[in-house]
Amino acid sequence: MSRWNLPDPVALHAYGQPERLACHDVATGRRWRYDEFDRDIQRTVALLADRYGIVHGDRVATVANNGADLLLLNLAAERLGAIFVPLNYRLSTLELNAILDDCRPALVATDRFDRLPTPSSGYAVHVADLAREIAACEPAEHGPRPPNDETKIILYTSGTSGRPKGVMITGDNIRATALNFGVPGRVAWNSVFLCDAPMFHVIGLLPSMRATLMFGGALHISPGFDPERTNRLLADADIGVTHYFCVPKMASMLAEQANFEPSRWQHLQALFTGGSPISPAEVNGWLERGIKVSNGFGMTEAGTIMHVPLNRQLMAETAGSVGLPAPFLEVRLVDEHDNDVAAGEPGEILVRGANVTPGYWNRPEETAKALTADGWLRTGDIGQADVRGHITLKDRKKDMFISGGENVFPAEVENALMDHPDVVEAAVVGVADPGWGEIGHAYVVLRAGSPADPDTLAQHCQQRLAGYKTPKRFVIVEELPRNAAGKLMKQVLKTPGHGPDSSPG
């Protein structure tokens, strides 16, 4: 293939800086220079096409911890024109089944066969076997570049209806997100990223990994967040981590460890945070330790939307905000009639740009609700801008809440509760929590004479939902608060002290 028709940045860097470190798999110790990483992507292309018969448009799913082999799958699928679908390994078997039925992958790579039944169609392979199979293949020749406006990735998030929905991410979305983080985040050829955010989240897969590879930096992939290990890696002068993403809860866990030594994080440009609120006190606490904190706002449907600039004075002055809009997108704050609001007034955040998803997989109605006719994405989040344009999140228009960086939709939890034969009604709300940002409280009406109690309901949810979705408090009530029109008033349930203390313990 001609060098002027290279399929992606990795192939370019394989020619332009072949000897530089591209990727390090922390769990196995394997390392790839850019020329070696490009070669192994092409080996994976050969494996997918020749061994598993993957063709244009097929889905390739994963249910596994972070690892370089998953990234090789992602990049190889993209070069083939296939679609990469990384799934949350914390989901229950029932939840995984629902998603697999929706996306129908031709291949699933996993390290959790005990929780993942073999798909009705296609193949399933253990990640450890996949690594050996990749190594045994001869690299395929570089082929023509698939169009960037095609879907390359599907990231699943829970829907407001309780059904999972797949966010379609195109090649254009990937590149725009890499730039929207890379420019304000000061990513360059000598940047070093530590990635322990899960690859089934937009933060782990796009800003962390794709920004690194776009600019030719080095990526260190950890299998998952372990605060002791992360502290050790951040302090390792031989690695020299410059960029690290975490939710605020992860940042506070780092500070609780015996090996917490931020004075040794000499190369780190900032802790990049998001996913849940971070208080001004927390931001200032990190600044006092000598560590900058660039808080931001993003979502699966649009990648990076905002970040606080890497300026210590601005970080202190705007502590608690999510900063300024990224450079390659438009942002509006609007009222209920879609009119722009003035500075200092709250409004729903709308986003438009090459970073915005074209919609949801197999969900045309939900796509129409999320996107306006002229391309604006309704985020459902309420923001307020100061006179300089710095935006602070005020509330969520939708019922969704974020617990420890994970999105939780009450409708999904309520549907699980309603599967219990003794549950008549259920309402779930997110309540502020100092450790996790928000946690779920469930208010349940039981059938008369039911022996069910909070422990029973907790066990019921744990069998059907991921742990972070299971409410931390269950309250048995005689009825749910409703207005004169019969509409459920969830704000009443969020009132401190509502209902008796019926936590499962």
* DSSP state letters, 450-465: ----HHHHHHHHHTTS
Residue 138 in any domain: the answer is: yes
Q: What mean pLDDT is predicted for residues 383-408?
A: 84
Is a pLDDT exceeding 90 seen at residue 331?
yes
pLDDT tens profile 195-212: 999 999 999 999 999 999
Measure Cα distances from 337 to 151, 333, 342, 347 in Å.
32, 11, 14, 10
pLDDT tens profile 103-124: 999 999 998 877 665 555 578 8
Report the C-alpha gap between 328 and 179 in whole angstroms: 8
- DSSP for 245-275 reads EE-HHHHHHHHTSTT--GGG-TT--EEEE-S
* Paired strand residues for 381: 396
* Domain end marker among 146, 169, 186: 146
CA 159-154-469 angle, 5° bins:
35
Closest CA to 430 of 505, 372, 490: 490
Largest CA distance in the chain: 75
Residue 395 tokens read as: 């509330």
Residue 326 in any domain: the answer is: no
Q: Which amino acid is at 446?
A: L
Residue 41 in any domain: the answer is: yes
List, in order, residues 6 or more apart from 221 with CB less than 8 Å away: 23, 24, 25, 26, 66, 67, 68, 71, 195, 209
Residue 232 in any domain: the answer is: no
Q: What mean pLDDT is predicted for residues 147-167?
A: 84
- Is residue 253 within 8 Å of 276, Cβ to Cβ? no
Q: What mean pLDDT is predicted for residues 32-40?
A: 98
Task: Identify the H or E element spanning 71.
Answer: helix 68-80
Domain count, the chain: 2
* Residue 184: band (very low, low, confident or very high) from pLDDT cuts 50, 70, 90: very high
Report the C-alpha gap between 105 and 307 in whole angstroms: 35
Q: What mean pLDDT is predicted for residues 473-488?
A: 77
pLDDT of residue 503: 43
pLDDT tens profile 238-276: 999 999 999 888 898 999 999 999 999 999 999 999 877
- 315 burial (CB, 10 Å; 0-12 / 13-18 / 19+) is buried
- Is residue 442 within 8 Å of 410, Cβ to Cβ? no
Dihedral of CA atoms 116, 229, 205, 113 in degrees, nearest 10, equals -10
- Chain centroid to CA 205: how far? 8
pLDDT of residue 4: 54
Report the C-alpha gap between 343 and 384 in whole angstroms: 7
* Residue 492: band (very low, low, confident or very high) from pLDDT cuts 50, 70, 90: confident
* Residue 501: band (very low, low, confident or very high) from pLDDT cuts 50, 70, 90: very low
* Domain end marker among 111, 146, 181: 146
Exposure string for 246-264, b = 16+ CB within 10 A, e = fewer = bbbbbbbbbeeeeebebee
- E strand segments, 354-457: 359-361, 377-385, 391-396, 401-403, 406-408, 423-433, 437-446
Is a pLDDT exceeding 80 seen at residue 502?
no
pLDDT of residue 118: 55
* Residue 500: band (very low, low, confident or very high) from pLDDT cuts 50, 70, 90: very low
List, in order, residues 6 or more apart from 414 with CB less than 8 Å away: 162, 426, 427, 428
* Residue 1: band (very low, low, confident or very high) from pLDDT cuts 50, 70, 90: very low
Higher pLDDT, 396 or 502: 396
pLDDT tens profile 336-393: 899 999 999 989 999 999 999 999 999 999 999 999 999 999 998 888 999 999 999 8
pLDDT of residue 120: 53
- Is residue 151 within 8 Å of 169, Cβ to Cβ? yes
Is a pLDDT exceeding 70 seen at residue 462?
yes
Pairing status of strand 123-126 against strand 151-158: unpaired
* Domain end marker among 112, 146, 180: 146
List, in order, residues 6 or more apart from 419 with CB less than 8 Å away: 460, 464
Residue 336 in any domain: the answer is: no
Residue 187 in any domain: the answer is: no
Here the CATH number for the domain that contains residue 489 is 3.30.300.30
Share of the chain above pLDDT 90, in %: 73
Share of the chain above pLDDT 70, in %: 92
Residue 44 in any domain: the answer is: yes
* Residue 159: band (very low, low, confident or very high) from pLDDT cuts 50, 70, 90: low
Residue 163 in any domain: the answer is: no
pLDDT of residue 409: 77
pLDDT of residue 295: 95
Is a pLDDT exceeding 60 seen at residue 486?
no
Report the C-alpha gap between 434 and 299 in whole angstroms: 22
Closest CA to 428 of 437, 439, 436: 439
In which domain, by residue range, is 44 found?
A: 1-6+34-146
- Is residue 59 within 8 Å of 104, Cβ to Cβ? yes
In three-state secondary structure terms, 22 is strand
Angle between helices 454-462 and 410-418 (to 10 degrees): 110
Here the CATH number for the domain that contains residue 130 is 3.40.50.980
Report the C-alpha gap between 185 and 191 in whole angstroms: 10
Mean pLDDT of the chain: 90
* Residue 90: band (very low, low, confident or very high) from pLDDT cuts 50, 70, 90: confident
Report the C-alpha gap between 247 and 275 in whole angstroms: 6
* Residue 140: band (very low, low, confident or very high) from pLDDT cuts 50, 70, 90: very high
Q: Where are the alpha helices (DSSP H) in 81-226?
A: 93-103, 127-136, 171-182, 202-203, 211-215
pLDDT of residue 487: 60
pLDDT of residue 490: 83
